[in-house]
Amino acid sequence: MSYLGVGVSPGKHHVRESDLKALDRKVKIAELILRAAVCGLALIAALLVATDTQVKEIFTIRKRAKFTDMKSMVMLVVVNGIVAAYSLVHTFRCVVSMLRGSVLFNKPLAWLIFSGDQVMAYMIVVAIGASAQSAAYAKLGEPQVEWMKVCDMYAKFCNQVGEGIASSVFACASMIIVSAISAFSLFRLYDGNKAW
Amino acid sequence: MSYLGVGVSPGKHHVRESDLKALDRKVKIAELILRAAVCGLALIAALLVATDTQVKEIFTIRKRAKFTDMKSMVMLVVVNGIVAAYSLVHTFRCVVSMLRGSVLFNKPLAWLIFSGDQVMAYMIVVAIGASAQSAAYAKLGEPQVEWMKVCDMYAKFCNQVGEGIASSVFACASMIIVSAISAFSLFRLYDGNKAW
Protein backbone atom coordinates (compact mmCIF):
# COMPACT_ATOMS: atom_id res chain seq x y z
CA MET A 1 0.00 0.00 0.00
CA SER A 2 1.18 3.46 -0.76
CA TYR A 3 0.93 4.54 2.87
CA LEU A 4 3.90 2.39 3.61
CA GLY A 5 6.07 4.52 1.42
CA VAL A 6 5.61 7.97 2.88
CA GLY A 7 8.93 7.79 4.60
CA VAL A 8 7.78 6.69 8.02
CA SER A 9 9.99 3.97 9.31
CA PRO A 10 9.36 2.33 12.68
CA GLY A 11 10.75 4.53 15.37
CA LYS A 12 10.82 7.66 13.26
CA HIS A 13 7.66 9.61 13.77
CA HIS A 14 8.54 12.98 12.43
CA VAL A 15 7.19 13.11 8.95
CA ARG A 16 7.30 16.27 6.93
CA GLU A 17 3.98 18.06 7.06
CA SER A 18 3.85 18.57 3.30
CA ASP A 19 4.09 14.79 2.73
CA LEU A 20 1.14 14.18 4.99
CA LYS A 21 -0.90 16.93 3.35
CA ALA A 22 -0.26 15.38 -0.06
CA LEU A 23 -1.26 11.95 1.28
CA ASP A 24 -4.33 13.49 2.80
CA ARG A 25 -5.39 15.04 -0.50
CA LYS A 26 -4.91 11.73 -2.35
CA VAL A 27 -6.99 9.89 0.25
CA LYS A 28 -9.78 12.46 -0.10
CA ILE A 29 -9.86 12.22 -3.89
CA ALA A 30 -9.85 8.41 -3.69
CA GLU A 31 -12.72 8.53 -1.21
CA LEU A 32 -14.76 10.84 -3.45
CA ILE A 33 -14.25 8.71 -6.57
CA LEU A 34 -15.03 5.48 -4.72
CA ARG A 35 -18.17 6.86 -3.07
CA ALA A 36 -19.47 8.06 -6.43
CA ALA A 37 -18.65 4.64 -7.91
CA VAL A 38 -20.49 2.83 -5.11
CA CYS A 39 -23.50 5.07 -5.65
CA GLY A 40 -23.62 4.40 -9.41
CA LEU A 41 -22.92 0.68 -9.22
CA ALA A 42 -25.40 0.01 -6.42
CA LEU A 43 -28.07 1.98 -8.30
CA ILE A 44 -27.41 -0.01 -11.48
CA ALA A 45 -27.58 -3.26 -9.49
CA ALA A 46 -30.89 -2.29 -7.87
CA LEU A 47 -32.42 -1.20 -11.19
CA LEU A 48 -31.19 -4.26 -13.10
CA VAL A 49 -32.78 -6.63 -10.61
CA ALA A 50 -35.91 -4.56 -9.91
CA THR A 51 -36.83 -4.04 -13.56
CA ASP A 52 -36.10 -7.65 -14.52
CA THR A 53 -39.08 -9.62 -15.76
CA GLN A 54 -39.78 -12.48 -18.13
CA VAL A 55 -43.05 -14.00 -19.27
CA LYS A 56 -43.21 -17.68 -20.10
CA GLU A 57 -46.14 -19.54 -21.59
CA ILE A 58 -46.42 -23.13 -20.49
CA PHE A 59 -49.24 -24.70 -22.49
CA THR A 60 -51.95 -22.12 -21.89
CA ILE A 61 -50.68 -20.77 -18.58
CA ARG A 62 -48.78 -17.47 -18.65
CA LYS A 63 -46.25 -17.18 -15.87
CA ARG A 64 -44.36 -13.97 -15.19
CA ALA A 65 -41.02 -14.16 -13.37
CA LYS A 66 -40.16 -11.08 -11.32
CA PHE A 67 -37.70 -10.25 -8.59
CA THR A 68 -40.35 -10.37 -5.85
CA ASP A 69 -40.63 -14.13 -6.44
CA MET A 70 -37.49 -14.54 -4.36
CA LYS A 71 -37.00 -12.82 -1.03
CA SER A 72 -33.24 -12.65 -1.47
CA MET A 73 -33.68 -10.60 -4.66
CA VAL A 74 -35.97 -8.18 -2.82
CA MET A 75 -33.28 -7.89 -0.15
CA LEU A 76 -30.63 -7.28 -2.83
CA VAL A 77 -32.69 -4.46 -4.37
CA VAL A 78 -33.47 -2.85 -0.99
CA VAL A 79 -29.89 -3.06 0.28
CA ASN A 80 -28.44 -1.70 -2.96
CA GLY A 81 -30.97 1.12 -2.88
CA ILE A 82 -30.00 2.03 0.68
CA VAL A 83 -26.28 1.85 -0.13
CA ALA A 84 -26.78 4.03 -3.24
CA ALA A 85 -28.71 6.69 -1.29
CA TYR A 86 -26.17 6.64 1.54
CA SER A 87 -23.29 6.96 -0.91
CA LEU A 88 -24.98 9.84 -2.73
CA VAL A 89 -25.24 11.80 0.52
CA HIS A 90 -21.60 11.11 1.36
CA THR A 91 -20.43 11.95 -2.15
CA PHE A 92 -21.97 15.40 -1.67
CA ARG A 93 -20.35 15.67 1.76
CA CYS A 94 -16.96 14.86 0.21
CA VAL A 95 -17.44 17.45 -2.54
CA VAL A 96 -18.49 20.14 -0.06
CA SER A 97 -15.61 19.31 2.26
CA MET A 98 -13.12 19.49 -0.63
CA LEU A 99 -14.51 22.78 -1.95
CA ARG A 100 -14.43 24.35 1.48
CA GLY A 101 -11.05 22.85 2.18
CA SER A 102 -12.32 21.88 5.60
CA VAL A 103 -10.78 18.97 7.44
CA LEU A 104 -12.18 16.16 9.48
CA PHE A 105 -11.24 17.27 12.92
CA ASN A 106 -14.32 16.16 14.61
CA LYS A 107 -14.10 12.77 16.31
CA PRO A 108 -17.86 12.22 16.78
CA LEU A 109 -18.44 12.91 13.05
CA ALA A 110 -15.55 10.62 12.11
CA TRP A 111 -17.06 7.90 14.32
CA LEU A 112 -20.45 8.41 12.67
CA ILE A 113 -19.02 8.09 9.15
CA PHE A 114 -16.90 5.08 10.17
CA SER A 115 -19.89 3.29 11.74
CA GLY A 116 -22.17 4.05 8.79
CA ASP A 117 -19.59 2.78 6.31
CA GLN A 118 -19.07 -0.41 8.29
CA VAL A 119 -22.81 -1.09 8.43
CA MET A 120 -23.19 -0.49 4.68
CA ALA A 121 -20.20 -2.67 3.79
CA TYR A 122 -21.34 -5.64 5.90
CA MET A 123 -24.96 -5.21 4.81
CA ILE A 124 -24.10 -5.38 1.12
CA VAL A 125 -21.78 -8.36 1.71
CA VAL A 126 -24.52 -10.34 3.46
CA ALA A 127 -27.05 -9.41 0.72
CA ILE A 128 -24.62 -10.61 -1.95
CA GLY A 129 -24.01 -13.84 -0.02
CA ALA A 130 -27.73 -14.56 0.20
CA SER A 131 -28.62 -13.62 -3.37
CA ALA A 132 -25.61 -15.36 -4.90
CA GLN A 133 -26.65 -18.50 -3.01
CA SER A 134 -30.20 -18.20 -4.37
CA ALA A 135 -28.86 -17.60 -7.86
CA ALA A 136 -26.69 -20.71 -7.55
CA TYR A 137 -29.72 -22.82 -6.59
CA ALA A 138 -31.74 -21.29 -9.44
CA LYS A 139 -28.97 -21.98 -11.94
CA LEU A 140 -27.72 -25.36 -10.73
CA GLY A 141 -30.52 -26.69 -8.55
CA GLU A 142 -29.84 -28.70 -5.39
CA PRO A 143 -30.65 -32.28 -6.33
CA GLN A 144 -30.19 -33.66 -2.78
CA VAL A 145 -33.21 -31.72 -1.57
CA GLU A 146 -35.01 -31.81 -4.92
CA TRP A 147 -34.88 -28.09 -5.57
CA MET A 148 -35.05 -27.81 -9.34
CA LYS A 149 -33.20 -25.45 -11.64
CA VAL A 150 -35.44 -22.59 -12.67
CA CYS A 151 -32.98 -20.78 -14.91
CA ASP A 152 -33.52 -23.29 -17.70
CA MET A 153 -36.99 -21.83 -18.06
CA TYR A 154 -36.15 -18.20 -17.39
CA ALA A 155 -32.73 -17.76 -19.01
CA LYS A 156 -33.08 -14.05 -19.85
CA PHE A 157 -34.40 -13.28 -16.37
CA CYS A 158 -31.54 -15.14 -14.70
CA ASN A 159 -28.89 -13.45 -16.84
CA GLN A 160 -30.11 -10.01 -15.88
CA VAL A 161 -30.15 -10.96 -12.19
CA GLY A 162 -26.58 -12.19 -12.67
CA GLU A 163 -25.59 -8.80 -14.10
CA GLY A 164 -27.24 -7.12 -11.11
CA ILE A 165 -25.29 -9.29 -8.67
CA ALA A 166 -22.06 -8.58 -10.57
CA SER A 167 -22.67 -4.83 -10.37
CA SER A 168 -23.42 -5.23 -6.68
CA VAL A 169 -20.14 -7.10 -6.17
CA PHE A 170 -18.20 -4.17 -7.66
CA ALA A 171 -20.18 -1.73 -5.50
CA CYS A 172 -19.34 -3.91 -2.50
CA ALA A 173 -15.61 -3.99 -3.29
CA SER A 174 -15.56 -0.19 -3.53
CA MET A 175 -17.58 0.10 -0.33
CA ILE A 176 -15.07 -2.10 1.51
CA ILE A 177 -12.21 0.17 0.41
CA VAL A 178 -14.26 3.24 1.43
CA SER A 179 -14.85 1.73 4.86
CA ALA A 180 -11.09 1.18 5.23
CA ILE A 181 -10.52 4.83 4.26
CA SER A 182 -13.00 6.04 6.86
CA ALA A 183 -11.31 3.80 9.45
CA PHE A 184 -8.03 5.46 8.47
CA SER A 185 -9.58 8.94 8.75
CA LEU A 186 -10.96 8.14 12.19
CA PHE A 187 -8.18 6.22 13.87
CA ARG A 188 -5.34 8.46 12.71
CA LEU A 189 -6.90 11.05 15.02
CA TYR A 190 -5.73 8.80 17.88
CA ASP A 191 -2.09 9.57 18.15
CA GLY A 192 -0.51 6.15 18.49
CA ASN A 193 3.08 7.28 18.45
CA LYS A 194 2.79 9.22 21.67
CA ALA A 195 1.46 6.16 23.45
CA TRP A 196 4.56 4.07 23.00
CA MET B 1 -17.51 4.43 22.41
CA SER B 2 -15.14 4.80 25.32
CA TYR B 3 -12.41 6.26 23.12
CA LEU B 4 -14.42 9.45 22.92
CA GLY B 5 -13.93 10.02 26.58
CA VAL B 6 -10.18 9.92 26.96
CA GLY B 7 -9.98 13.65 27.18
CA VAL B 8 -9.04 14.43 23.61
CA SER B 9 -11.05 17.36 22.39
CA PRO B 10 -10.75 18.67 18.83
CA GLY B 11 -7.80 20.97 18.60
CA LYS B 12 -6.13 19.63 21.69
CA HIS B 13 -3.69 16.94 20.75
CA HIS B 14 -1.57 16.63 23.78
CA VAL B 15 -2.96 13.78 25.72
CA ARG B 16 -1.25 12.52 28.80
CA GLU B 17 0.87 9.50 28.03
CA SER B 18 -0.47 7.52 30.97
CA ASP B 19 -4.04 7.87 29.65
CA LEU B 20 -3.04 6.45 26.30
CA LYS B 21 -1.11 3.61 27.90
CA ALA B 22 -4.17 2.67 29.94
CA LEU B 23 -6.34 2.81 26.82
CA ASP B 24 -3.78 0.73 25.00
CA ARG B 25 -3.85 -1.95 27.68
CA LYS B 26 -7.65 -2.10 27.64
CA VAL B 27 -7.68 -2.44 23.86
CA LYS B 28 -5.16 -5.28 24.05
CA ILE B 29 -7.15 -7.18 26.66
CA ALA B 30 -10.36 -6.68 24.67
CA GLU B 31 -8.62 -7.96 21.55
CA LEU B 32 -7.34 -11.06 23.35
CA ILE B 33 -10.75 -11.93 24.82
CA LEU B 34 -12.54 -11.35 21.52
CA ARG B 35 -10.07 -13.41 19.50
CA ALA B 36 -10.40 -16.31 21.94
CA ALA B 37 -14.21 -15.96 21.72
CA VAL B 38 -14.13 -15.99 17.91
CA CYS B 39 -11.96 -19.10 17.98
CA GLY B 40 -14.30 -20.96 20.34
CA LEU B 41 -17.56 -19.88 18.70
CA ALA B 42 -16.38 -20.57 15.15
CA LEU B 43 -15.14 -24.00 16.22
CA ILE B 44 -18.48 -24.79 17.87
CA ALA B 45 -20.31 -23.61 14.74
CA ALA B 46 -18.17 -25.78 12.46
CA LEU B 47 -18.56 -28.85 14.71
CA LEU B 48 -22.31 -28.41 15.17
CA VAL B 49 -22.90 -28.31 11.42
CA ALA B 50 -20.28 -30.89 10.43
CA THR B 51 -21.42 -33.54 12.93
CA ASP B 52 -25.12 -32.99 12.20
CA THR B 53 -26.92 -35.95 10.71
CA GLN B 54 -30.40 -37.43 10.68
CA VAL B 55 -31.75 -40.66 9.22
CA LYS B 56 -35.30 -40.82 7.94
CA GLU B 57 -37.14 -43.86 6.75
CA ILE B 58 -39.68 -43.18 4.03
CA PHE B 59 -41.53 -46.44 3.43
CA THR B 60 -38.57 -48.76 3.00
CA ILE B 61 -36.04 -46.17 1.80
CA ARG B 62 -33.53 -44.93 4.36
CA LYS B 63 -32.35 -41.40 3.68
CA ARG B 64 -29.56 -39.77 5.65
CA ALA B 65 -29.38 -35.97 5.80
CA LYS B 66 -25.90 -34.57 6.25
CA PHE B 67 -24.27 -31.18 5.83
CA THR B 68 -22.65 -32.13 2.52
CA ASP B 69 -26.12 -32.24 0.96
CA MET B 70 -25.99 -28.45 0.74
CA LYS B 71 -23.01 -26.58 -0.62
CA SER B 72 -23.69 -23.57 1.58
CA MET B 73 -23.36 -25.76 4.70
CA VAL B 74 -20.03 -27.06 3.45
CA MET B 75 -18.95 -23.45 2.95
CA LEU B 76 -20.12 -22.56 6.46
CA VAL B 77 -18.08 -25.40 7.98
CA VAL B 78 -14.96 -24.58 5.95
CA VAL B 79 -15.12 -20.83 6.62
CA ASN B 80 -15.74 -21.32 10.35
CA GLY B 81 -12.85 -23.76 10.45
CA ILE B 82 -10.51 -21.28 8.77
CA VAL B 83 -11.67 -18.44 11.05
CA ALA B 84 -11.18 -20.63 14.15
CA ALA B 85 -7.64 -21.62 13.11
CA TYR B 86 -6.75 -18.02 12.23
CA SER B 87 -8.10 -16.78 15.55
CA LEU B 88 -6.20 -19.44 17.47
CA VAL B 89 -2.92 -18.28 15.94
CA HIS B 90 -3.71 -14.64 16.73
CA THR B 91 -4.84 -15.44 20.26
CA PHE B 92 -1.38 -16.90 20.86
CA ARG B 93 0.22 -13.85 19.25
CA CYS B 94 -1.77 -11.59 21.61
CA VAL B 95 -0.75 -13.64 24.66
CA VAL B 96 2.93 -13.61 23.66
CA SER B 97 2.83 -9.88 22.93
CA MET B 98 1.21 -9.17 26.30
CA LEU B 99 3.66 -11.37 28.22
CA ARG B 100 6.64 -9.79 26.51
CA GLY B 101 5.11 -6.35 26.86
CA SER B 102 6.10 -5.69 23.28
CA VAL B 103 4.21 -3.12 21.25
CA LEU B 104 2.98 -3.04 17.70
CA PHE B 105 5.45 -0.65 16.19
CA ASN B 106 5.75 -2.38 12.94
CA LYS B 107 3.59 -1.00 10.14
CA PRO B 108 3.94 -3.97 7.76
CA LEU B 109 2.88 -6.36 10.55
CA ALA B 110 -0.03 -4.08 11.48
CA TRP B 111 -1.10 -4.01 7.81
CA LEU B 112 -0.88 -7.81 7.67
CA ILE B 113 -3.05 -8.26 10.76
CA PHE B 114 -5.52 -5.61 9.56
CA SER B 115 -5.84 -7.23 6.11
CA GLY B 116 -6.19 -10.73 7.56
CA ASP B 117 -8.90 -9.59 9.97
CA GLN B 118 -10.81 -7.82 7.22
CA VAL B 119 -10.71 -10.93 5.01
CA MET B 120 -11.90 -13.16 7.86
CA ALA B 121 -14.72 -10.77 8.85
CA TYR B 122 -16.10 -10.40 5.32
CA MET B 123 -15.64 -14.12 4.61
CA ILE B 124 -17.67 -15.18 7.63
CA VAL B 125 -20.36 -12.56 6.83
CA VAL B 126 -20.78 -13.87 3.29
CA ALA B 127 -20.87 -17.48 4.53
CA ILE B 128 -23.57 -16.58 7.05
CA GLY B 129 -25.55 -14.76 4.34
CA ALA B 130 -25.45 -17.77 2.05
CA SER B 131 -26.19 -20.40 4.70
CA ALA B 132 -28.94 -18.37 6.38
CA GLN B 133 -30.55 -18.01 2.96
CA SER B 134 -30.36 -21.78 2.40
CA ALA B 135 -31.72 -22.40 5.88
CA ALA B 136 -34.62 -20.04 5.15
CA TYR B 137 -35.47 -21.97 1.98
CA ALA B 138 -35.20 -25.27 3.83
CA LYS B 139 -37.43 -24.04 6.65
CA LEU B 140 -39.98 -22.00 4.69
CA GLY B 141 -39.62 -23.20 1.12
CA GLU B 142 -39.97 -20.84 -1.85
CA PRO B 143 -43.38 -21.61 -3.31
CA GLN B 144 -42.96 -19.34 -6.36
CA VAL B 145 -40.22 -21.55 -7.73
CA GLU B 146 -41.57 -24.74 -6.19
CA TRP B 147 -38.68 -25.35 -3.81
CA MET B 148 -40.22 -27.37 -1.03
CA LYS B 149 -39.60 -27.16 2.71
CA VAL B 150 -37.23 -29.91 3.80
CA CYS B 151 -37.14 -29.08 7.51
CA ASP B 152 -40.56 -30.65 8.04
CA MET B 153 -38.90 -33.98 7.38
CA TYR B 154 -35.57 -33.32 9.07
CA ALA B 155 -36.53 -31.21 12.08
CA LYS B 156 -33.67 -32.32 14.36
CA PHE B 157 -31.13 -31.84 11.58
CA CYS B 158 -32.41 -28.33 10.81
CA ASN B 159 -32.40 -27.29 14.46
CA GLN B 160 -28.77 -28.25 14.87
CA VAL B 161 -27.83 -26.35 11.70
CA GLY B 162 -29.70 -23.36 13.14
CA GLU B 163 -27.62 -23.58 16.32
CA GLY B 164 -24.48 -23.72 14.19
CA ILE B 165 -25.51 -20.60 12.26
CA ALA B 166 -26.33 -18.81 15.53
CA SER B 167 -22.89 -19.65 16.95
CA SER B 168 -21.36 -18.43 13.71
CA VAL B 169 -23.27 -15.14 13.98
CA PHE B 170 -21.77 -14.52 17.42
CA ALA B 171 -18.31 -15.43 16.10
CA CYS B 172 -18.91 -13.00 13.25
CA ALA B 173 -19.96 -10.15 15.55
CA SER B 174 -16.81 -10.63 17.62
CA MET B 175 -14.69 -10.84 14.45
CA ILE B 176 -16.13 -7.52 13.23
CA ILE B 177 -15.16 -5.83 16.51
CA VAL B 178 -11.69 -7.43 16.31
CA SER B 179 -11.27 -6.09 12.77
CA ALA B 180 -12.18 -2.60 14.02
CA ILE B 181 -9.57 -2.96 16.78
CA SER B 182 -6.89 -3.98 14.30
CA ALA B 183 -7.86 -0.99 12.10
CA PHE B 184 -7.42 1.19 15.20
CA SER B 185 -4.04 -0.38 15.97
CA LEU B 186 -2.87 0.18 12.40
CA PHE B 187 -4.17 3.62 11.55
CA ARG B 188 -3.24 5.29 14.83
CA LEU B 189 0.34 4.78 13.67
CA TYR B 190 -0.43 7.42 11.02
CA ASP B 191 -0.20 10.63 12.90
CA GLY B 192 -3.27 12.52 11.74
CA ASN B 193 -2.93 15.49 14.04
CA LYS B 194 0.29 16.65 12.45
CA ALA B 195 -1.33 16.70 9.03
CA TRP B 196 -3.85 19.36 9.78
Local mean pLDDT, 10-residue blocks, chain A (196 residues): 44 58 85 96 95 83 84 94 97 89 76 95 95 91 83 89 95 96 89 52
Query: Residue A98: what pLDDT?
Result: 85
Contact flag A147-B148 (C-beta cutoff 8 Å): yes
User: Over the stretch B130-142, which tens digit does the pLDDT of each residue have?
Assistant: 999 999 999 988 8
ipTM of the complex: 0.82
Partners of A63 in beta bridges: A56
At residue B193, the pLDDT reads 54
- Point out the least confidently predicted range of A72-76, B37-41, B105-109: B105-109
pLDDT (0 to 100) of residue B6: 45
Dihedral (Cα; B67, B68, B69, B73), 10-degree rounding: 60
pLDDT in tens, A120-167: 999 999 999 999 999 999 998 888 788 888 888 888 989 999 999 999
User: Does B122 sit within 8 Å of A195, measured CB to CB?
Assistant: no
Range B3-24 average pLDDT: 57
Interface test with A, best of B67, B113, B147 (most A CBs within 10 A): B147
Contact B89, B79 (CB under 8 A): no
From chain A, the residues in CB contact with B192 under 8 A are: 185, 188-189, 191
Q: Which of A118, A183, A190 sits opposite B3 (nearest CB)?
A: A190
Distances (CA, A) of B193 to A51, A62, B11, B16, B81: 48, 65, 9, 15, 41
Q: What is the pLDDT of residue A17?
A: 66
Whether A133 sits inside 8 A of B192 (CB atoms) is no
Taking contacts as CB-CB distances below 8 angstroms, the residues of chain A near B150 are: 145
Mean residue pLDDT of chain B comes to 85
Between residues B189 and B33, the one the model is more confident about? B33
B35 within 8 A of B87, measured Cβ to Cβ: yes
Rounded CA-CA distance B171/A76 in Å is 24
Chain B residue numbers with beta carbons less than 8 Å from the beta carbon of A132 are 130
Q: How far is CA A67 from CA A8, A100, A163, A172, A196, in A?
A: 51, 43, 13, 20, 55
> What single letter denotes the amino acid at residue A180?
A
Task: Provide, as residue numbers in chain B, all residues whose Cβ is less than 8 Å from the Cβ of A120.
Answer: none
CB burial class (10 A; 0-12, 13-18, 19+) of residue B1? Answer: exposed
Neighbouring C-beta atoms of residue B16, cutoff 10 Å: 11
Residue A61: the pLDDT is 80
